[in-house]
Structure 1
Amino acid sequence: MDIEIAEELGLIIKTKTGDYVDRFRNRIMFPILNKNKKVIGFGGRTIVDDSAKYLNSPESVIFKKGDNIYALDKIIENNIRDKVLIVEGYMDVISLYQNGINYVVAGLGTAFTENQARLIKRYFRNNVYLCYDGDNAGISATNKTSSVFNEISVKPNIIMLPDKLDPDDYIKKYGLNDFNKLLESPYDINGFNYEILKKSKKNSNSITDNTIFYESILDFLTKIDTNILRDLYINKISSEFGIDKNSLKEDFLNFDKKDKIIEKKKRN
């Protein structure tokens, strides 16, 4: 291969001295194939401690991260159309495949895009499952990816992992049977965020802690997009946390109004 082409595709990097080095040196390599089974890029996981954990091929004429999905080619090859499980990383995909879950794919290290979501919808319609890592970054990514799917009228099923685990770690710790039980009882995005909300409550009498938690409740309510569903959650919150329902409704309306004013100022 011509050196200039190899550099353009991100296979090698030119150093300050003019020499070329392997972009993916000291890394386990994961070839990225498009839906037609053509290699279009690579992901690399470091095997040393002094590098970024993951490194992907840069954008090029043949590799657009936001338009492709890792392992989608395998699902198409196996003619799987009934459901798809989206995870964060290459290792999660491989681990799940090794455990017999062959309807799994992953994004490519970037925020999930609308083009990726439309590609998923094209093959799997509405039967989409999200299973991101159980840490704060994974929770944030779950909400962002869910929003992307909502924009194209797909409401994904959310799998919640405990203890900040990723799917690979969860199966190693609890086994495949327990993981399958999670798949059988997914949440919608509101149920997922409500569980996160409950876990955030501290066993404390501190006014500061309780104020922060109450504001988290109000923020949670702003993200629910129908009045009927919001009223159901207001009743649920009132019952579970001993909060006066009418006060909660009034505080929510004031909080939501303030939130919209802030958003309007940001746009202007």
Structure 2
Amino acid sequence: MDLTLDHVTLVYPDGESTVTAVDDVSLTVPAGTTTAVLGPSGSGKSSLLAVAATLTTPTAGQVRIGDDVVNAPAGGAAAGSAVSSDAARLRRDRIGIVFQQPQLIASLTALENLELMSHLRGERPSAHRDRALELLDAVGLRDVAAKRPGQLSGGQRQRVAIARALMNHPEVLLVDEPTSALDHARGVQIIELVTRLTRETGAATIVVTHDEATLDTVDARVHLADGRLVGAGEAAVARA
């Protein structure tokens, strides 16, 4: 399903004033495509991703997956953390998130880090072992399934995190600065991996990044400046 951000605004209190982190942004990411969101530090990229991920409630506007509204202000309430059980289930079942730091559990193997996603759904992890191994194979890491994060390189940990985000067949994949700790060659490989898996799984994917040099395989690029959208590529629909 497509991911749509419809006139999303996010305003934070800042002492006696306010800061507009996201300013009336409208964007559609079609299913099976990858859109890169670029901009300097402080441009609103991470705030936009947090709203798309339902981690933060927007001040105005809404986020939709297909026709379903998944994030919108309730009764004009101020923006804030979306901590309800419904939001948590939505993230678990429909949205895959890859954080800037992979946040793997150090005491678990690569395979167990993926199987943990089944446990969070109240299912036996071993019941989905084939899915976990299939994803590790897809990211080129089946041979390190039994290794723990401390035994893996930075690029390998990032790939495990991507595989983990796809365990529950999400309709939306959100990836935050996946190349920030990698050299250029490994960064290109990670972006190529994300775009390939996006096409294979049919997810609607946003990659937040500052590194435009790695983005040859994405379907569209948009730029944020001071919280506002200032450009769009062919596969993403940006509306005024």
| Same-fold call, TM cutoff 0.5 | no
More strand by share: 2
TM-score by length of 1: 0.25
Q: Bigger radius of gyration, 1 or 2?
A: 1
TM-score (structure 2 length as normaliser): 0.27
Q: Return the structure number with greater helix share.
A: 1
